[in-house]
Amino acid sequence: MAYSTYKCTKCGTNYSSSQRPLNGTCSKGGGHTWWKRPANPKYVNWRCSKCGTSYSSSDHPLKGTCSKGGGHTWRKN
* DSSP β-bridge partners for residue 39: none
Q: Where are the domains of the chain?
A: 1-37, 39-77
| Sequence-distant (≥ 6) Cβ neighbours of residue 71 within 8 angstroms | 50, 63, 64
Per residue in 41-64, pLDDT (tens digit) is 788 898 988 888 888 888 888 877
**Residue of 33, 45, 32 whose CA lies nearest to 75:** 45
Reply yes or no on whether the pLDDT at 1 is more than 70: no
Residue 10 CA to residue 4 CA, distance in Å, equals 19
Per residue in 3-39, pLDDT (tens digit) is 888 888 888 888 898 888 888 788 777 777 888 887 7
